[in-house]
Amino acid sequence: MVSKTPHTIGAAVCWFASFLWFVIICTPMNWLWCENLVVRFRINLWVFKIHKGIMSWGATLLIHGVTQNEVVHSIMDLFEADMWMEDGAARLCSPAVNYIWRWCDEAMYLKYASFAMIFFGFVAIMSLSAGGFFMYYYAHEHATRTGRMWALGCLISAPMCGLLGSLQYLLLTINFSEAMSNFGVYSTFMYGPGFFVSCMLSLLSCLPLYIYFVFGKKNPFEKSDETYEED
């Protein structure tokens, strides 16, 4: 008799990895961090956080001491806001801001990379959840060829989606700091924990597939589609 333990463990790993993917996709975990003397960015997949840099804070204090002009204060408030990704990209692409910094292209790449990562992340979540279900169902309920093929397809698609999502995010955002260095202003750029956790989860998502091929044995009493319909 074929042991059910490998399929049970594989299903549990699938569901655990699916939960971790949900956490990093849906929680406000930083994916990108970038700053110069004028502005600081803290970016996750959903929210664009803009804060003043050292020079902006100094200019704000100076302006508050010199003038009470509301227009000037509104301009300084542009560097202090938490916005959804769509709104943040639109603000960076506004004519006045883009005329000075010319970072609209990088902002749009960032928006597309974030939305694509959300898509690939949710596909990985669904693939892992379904793969775990098919593995458990195959071992404990009905061993059918269709169920085994569905499990294999889901287990292959999950790490592929994770790797594709992380790779496209890296490629589309790696030049984000270039616009921050305009006019010789020194900038600091680094990826946050969300990105690195997604890379590790992409590797973890390969573990159920490894369990499936190495330890999961085909049930000798597996039913083909025709046999299953006859029953």
pLDDT one-digit tens code per residue, 36-49: 766 788 889 999 88
Question: Residue 231's pLDDT is what?
Answer: 44
3 DSSP 8-state letter: -
Q: Is-contact 41 34, C-beta < 8 A?
A: yes
pLDDT category at 67 given cuts 50, 70, 90 is low
Chain centre to alpha carbon of residue 209: 21
Strands (E), the chain: 32-36, 39-43, 47-52, 81-84, 187-191
pLDDT at 187 over 80: no
The per-residue pLDDT for range 7-37, each reduced to its tens digit, is: 899 999 999 999 999 999 999 899 988 877 6
Of the CA atoms within 13 Å of residue 62, those in its CB half-sphere come to 6
